Amino acid sequence: MIRNQFASQAYQLTFHPKPLRKAFYHVLFNAESAGLRQAFNDGLATLRNNGRYQAIIEKAVAENSTPVTAQILEDKLVNWDATAAPCSPPPAE
C-alpha cells in the first residue's frame, strides 16, 4: 500500500526488526454458528494443504515489503506453526 500510495517516499521507509507489539488475530463465531465455524476451519485447512495460503502470503509480502519486512513477515506468516489449532467451539456453560 505504501509503495502504491506514496511511491516517491516509499524508499525512505524501513522497519525496525523488533516489533513494538505482537498481535494475534481471532475469528469469532456465535454459539449457533457451529456449521459456519466448521466451514471456516475446513476452508483454512484446504488453503494450507494445497499451498494457496502460502502463495497468497508470499505474493502480499513480495508486493508490499522491504527486504527486512519481508523476512519478518515470512517468519510469522509463511513459516507458521503447522500445528496451530483451528477455531474451537465455545466452552460449555
Q: How confident is the model at residue 42 (pLDDT cuts 50, 70, 90)?
A: very high
* Total of domains in the chain: 1
- Residue 15 in any domain: the answer is no
Mean pLDDT (the chain) is: 76
The whole-model pTM stands at: 0.50
Query: Cell numbers of 49, please?
Result: 494443504
In the chain, the amino acid numbered 42 is D
Q: Give the domain extent around 71.
A: 34-81
Tell me what percent of the residues of the chain surpass a pLDDT of 90. Answer: 10
Model pLDDT, residue 1: 64
Model pLDDT, residue 18: 75
- Residue 13 in any domain: the answer is no
- Residue 86 in any domain: the answer is no
Query: Residues 22, 75: contact at Cβ < 8 Å?
Result: no
- Residue 72 in any domain: the answer is yes
Q: How confident is the model at residue 21 (pLDDT cuts 50, 70, 90)?
A: low
- Residue 77 in any domain: the answer is yes
